[in-house]
Each structure stands twice: as structure tokens, then as C-alpha cells.
Amino acid sequence: MRLPRTAPVAVVGLGFAAFGALWWTAGLNRANDWVPAFLLGYTLTWFSYVVASIVVTRTRVPRWMILWIIIGAIGLRVAALHRTPPLSTDVWRYLWDGRVANAGINPFQYPPNAREVSHLRDANWQPINFKHISTIYPPTAEMLFSALARIRDQDAEAFRWAFMFFDVGNVLLLIVLLRRTSHPPERVIWYAWCPLPIVESTAGAHVDSVGIFLLLLAFLFTHRADGKPSIASGVFLAASVMAKGYSLLATPFFLRRGGWRTAVAFAVTSIALILPYLNAGRQLFGGLGAYLGAWETNSSIFLLIDRNLRSVTEAHSLIARIVTIAMIVVAIAVLAWRQKPGLESLMGSSFAVFGAQLFLGAPTLPWYAAWLIPALCWRVIPGVVLFTLTVSAQYYARWLFPGDAAMHDALLWIGYLPVYALLLGQAVKHIFSERGR
């Protein structure tokens, strides 16, 4: 398509608009006063991001535009880091785990309220949620927490800055992967300027940016022609799984393609990362088990199944978990069977199963959705683009209605119905276009 003279100017202007909107997200930071300002700023940022991404995707932009996209990605993250109110208390758990590990104690062994670790408590212990549950974060994450806590153990700033740098690294790795798959590198804007990974890696201080970074490295060390993962791919995939378990869903595709060398590299790396924490015994998975058994927040299909079974059986949550897991396993099997050669197919299968987990499983937290957003750099899916807005809006809007279950359910319907309508419409259109061919 010919380059309209106004297109580069529009993208530059939209970058400044997105920056200003994120700057606006600073609320009064008292009780729920921050929520309206955050939601308004986030929504305005999202609109600027979508329009800019469409302009970049549908026109031939000048070469310097990729530099502006990178500068914008960094600027937006710095704005969120300094202006967006804290969106989560998870970072205090990270800091606690790091302090416990640096004191020579296995962080998996004792929950924060245990008497055995009471001597490590300080003012940062108070905001930790679920103090009765031992940590749910896997070994790579725990090693990173320990390192960051050594840098600064009195506040969470080292964590926020580190996760921001990892997310900027994700932008750079996606540019390399786009070039390797013969796609325009400026399409990285679909991730680089998306407000969801921006705010969740900085204001939310979520470790997901680290897991995504390691997964993208695993893709990077995959052979471009046949999409066959290397030994290095197995190593980085294991490190990603041990940073955040989400990338475990992509493991079957890597192992099927990579053969025994990738499998051995994956297994050896996983064992090496787990070994330092084995003395926790059953507690190694105690926190994760408690988490998976109780959390269903912001979910859709899982919640529908669970709600409909409540009047039938007391085991409704367990059955809903089994049913949704079975559906995800079927999706993995179908994707593995239909997988085509090439790096792009490997990435497509991985991102597709991340989407299956987000829409079928539970919980569906906004920062989990960051795992799906890189797929937009290769294929723009309107339902997923809208999901990057609604999954956050419906989750954070709940704080305006504490304890109001009916309103929380209404927010889920408002958030999910248009997303599913777009996804279904695109699927039907695809089916009919394939029949036409």
C-alpha cells in the first residue's frame, strides 16, 4: 500500500498520546480512588495503541519507524513505572522469597506466617497476600528473586526495573523473530505498545515478562527452515517453564520437533534448576497445588462449567478443572498433529495453546494474557486485540464494587461477550473462506 504522507506523523502523534494517557493513570492511590483514573488512562492508551498499530500494519512506513516504535516502547514502560499505581501485591512475595533464600532457607519450605521464618519479618511482610501458603513460583523465578533481593531488600524497585528491562528485551527479540520469519519488523508494535504487558511488567511487577523472554530465546535458537529446536532451545524452554509454568504448554511442540537432544537438554536443565530446592519435599508443590485448587478469578468457560455443576455435586471445581484440562490437552494434541514445518508454525502452535488456556482454564488474570499478545505481531486477531482491553478492565473494575458478586459477574459478561463474538465471527469467516477455495 502507498505510504500516506500523514501516516508517520500520525504514528508519532499517537505515541505521544499513549504516553500522556499512561501518565494520566496516576490516581490518588488511596483505597479505590486510583481505579477510575487507571481505567480511563488504560483505555485511552489502548485506543492510541490500536490505531497506531493499524496504521503501521496497513501502510509501508519508513525505516526509521522501527526506531520510533522501540523508543515509544521504552518511554511507555517508564511512564507506567513512575505513574501507574501498584496493581498487585505479588512483588512483596517476590521480595520475601528472595530474603528467605538469602538467609539460607528454602523458600518452598515454609509459608510467610510460619514461626520458623518469623525473624525475617519487617514492614514489607505485612502486604504479602496468602501468608499461610508457601510460594507458588518455580526455581528460575526464585533464583531471580534472590538475586534482586541482594541488590535491594528494603523495597521493590529492583524488581520493577528488572521486569521492565526483560519486557523491553521481549520487544527486541520479537523484532529479530519477525525478521527471521520474513515479516516486517515494525509489526512488533502490536506487542511493544500494548498497554497490558506494559503496565503488568512495571506497575504490576509480574514475573511473566521473564518467562516470555526465555521462551522467545527458545524460539530464537530454533532452526528457521524446518522449525527444529536445538539443544539451546531445550535449555531456554526449561528455564522459561521454571520461571513461569505457562510455557509448559508449549513443551510438547518443542519436544516433538526437536527429538531426543532437545528433550535431554530440557530434562537436564529442569533437574538442575529443581535440585537446590528438593529438600522442601512435598512442600515443593504445596503452594502451587493450593493455588490451582482454589483460584478461578476472571475465568470464562471454567466458571460456566463450575457454576452449572454446583447444584449437582460438591466436586464441581474439581470436575470443571478436569474437563477444561482435558479440552486443553485435546487442543495440544490437534495442534501437534497438524503442525507444519518452520519456526512460524512452532510459534503459532505455542501461542494458540496459550489462548486455549486463557479462554478455557482458570484463573484468567490480565498478566497471564501477556503470553498470547506476541501472536498479534504475526496475525492480527480482532478478538484478542479487544481482549487486551477487556481482560484488564473487567478485572480492575471489580475493586470499585468490593464484595458485590453480582456486579463481578456482570463485569465478566460485559468483558467476554464481545470478545467471544469477534472470535466466533472470525472463525466462521475462516471456515467459509476455506470452503470457497
pLDDT, one tens digit per residue, over 387-437 is 999 999 999 999 999 989 999 999 999 999 999 999 999 989 878 877 766
Please provide the size of the chain in residues: 437
Residue 114's nearest CA partner among 134, 139, 137 is 134
Distances (CA, A) of 237 to 33, 266, 339: 41, 7, 19
CB neighbour burial string for 274-290, b if at least 16 within 10 angstroms, e if fewer: eeebeebeebbebbbeb
pLDDT in tens, 250-263: 999 999 999 999 99
Residue 95's nearest CA partner among 171, 39, 151 is 151
pLDDT in tens, 306-327: 999 998 999 999 999 999 999 9
Torsion of CA 301, 307, 308, 311, to 10 degrees: 160
pLDDT in tens, 118-133: 999 999 999 999 999 9
Is the omega angle on the peptide bond into residue 107 within 30 degrees of 0, that is, cis? no
Going by pLDDT thresholds of 50, 70 and 90, the confidence category of residue 292 is: confident
pLDDT, position 28 = 55
Indicate the pTM of the whole model. Answer: 0.95
Q: How many CB atoms are located within 10 Å of the residue 15 CB? A: 22
224 pLDDT more than 90: no
What does the alpha-carbon distance between residue 319 and residue 317 come to, in Å, rounded to a whole number?
Answer: 5
